[in-house]
Amino acid sequence: MPRPANVDETLALLARENYLASRPLATAVFLALNLGRPLLLEGEAGVGKTELAKVLARALDTPLIRLQCYEGLDIASAAYEWNVARQMLEIRIAEAGHEASRERLVAGLYSREMLIERPLLQALTQPKSPVLLIDELDRTDEPFEAYLLEVL
């Protein structure tokens, strides 16, 4: 589905998904979508912030990727980590004599196939722009917030 062309279309888009939005919220959504910028929402629990992300993903027929924040969340848990078990298996196979060169082995150990994508990397590599829901951001520490600021 194409992006809404104006605020009224944004209100209608949300209403079709049974989400009743105020005009100021629909304006913020419209601007975020059309400027390609993040939409940052804050408010009391239960007012519909998470539901808005779900509704937008459904209405725009795009993936919803959720990053649930918590105290102690680190970059590896949010962005990516290496598949250590698979890397070890590749090393064992090479030791058994099935790998021709050390250079090829090292290149393979740190290739994209060895990555486990976490929500941030998933969001950045999607062919179609997803809705990235970063929930409970206030529970993270300052270094993680600084990292997110760079990524976004």
Q: Return the pLDDT at 1.
A: 64
DSSP assignment of the chain? -PPPSSHHHHHHHHHHTT----HHHHHHHHHHHHHT-------STTSSHHHHHHHHHHHTT--EEEEE--TT--HHHHTEEE-HHHHHHHHHHIIIII-S-HHHHHHHHTSGGGEEE-HHHHHHH-SSPPEEEEE-GGGS-HHHHHHHHHH-
| Residue 24 confidence (pLDDT) above 90 | yes
| Residue 140 confidence (pLDDT) above 70 | yes
The predicted-structure confidence for 48-103, as pLDDT tens digits, reads as follows 999 999 999 999 999 999 999 999 999 889 999 999 999 999 888 888 876 567 77
Q: Return the pLDDT at 91.
A: 86
Q: Return the pLDDT at 100.
A: 61
